[in-house]
Amino acid sequence: MSERDTPEPADDMQPAELAAIVLRHPVHWLAFGFGAGLLPVAPGTWGSLATVLVYGWFVPVDALVLLGIAVVLFFAGIPICAASARRIGVHDHGGIVFDEVVGMLLTLCVAGPEPFWIVVAFLAFRAADIWKPWPIRDVDHSLSGGLGIMLDDVLAAVYASAAVFMLQRLFTVI
């Protein structure tokens, strides 16, 4: 391990110290969602909300194009999150929100452009990501590295997307 890869003990760090580390290296900028992950309370929720706000710019884009973007971001996120976690010395630090960005984007692919469904998608994704129903919790605890960081949020997106899809179908029947 080189000197520049020596981990900083981020779990014991004050917020200002963590921010200084994150702002020093581009891999942290990406992993921490351009700063959303530095917010002191519920960084995953802030990362998801930032995705919803950026999604507004992409609403006219076809859902399959957004799905393609999410897949590319997923594969890019594996080394990004792994490098950030290694550099700060904490696997899946709460401030690493790149995984929430990808999971939220996947859920938004199903939600569509209507504001009501965007809110439902946000709530469903946050619930699945926080609750971590089976097998998400098992994956979260058994996989390490960037894949482990990214995959639990993709699985949460699968649950959230299924919930949004079923609710949309239910509302069209009613």
Domain spans of the chain, in order of start: 3-173
pLDDT band at 9 (very low <50, low <70, confident <90, very high): low
- Please provide the average confidence, as pLDDT, over all residues in the chain: 89
Residue with tokens 């996989």, as numbered in its chain:
143
- Check residue 170 and give its pLDDT: 94
pLDDT digits (tens, 9 = 90+) for 99-110: 999 999 999 999
Average pLDDT over residues 80-98: 92
pLDDT band at 30 (very low <50, low <70, confident <90, very high): very high
Instruction: Record the pTM.
Output: 0.88
pLDDT band at 11 (very low <50, low <70, confident <90, very high): low
Own/partner pairs, 32-38, CB within 8 angstroms, 24+ separation: 32/84, 32/95, 32/96, 32/97, 32/98, 33/97, 33/98, 33/100, 33/101, 36/97, 37/93, 37/94, 37/95, 37/96, 37/97, 38/95
Q: Which pair of structure tokens corresponds to residue 95?
A: 């401030």
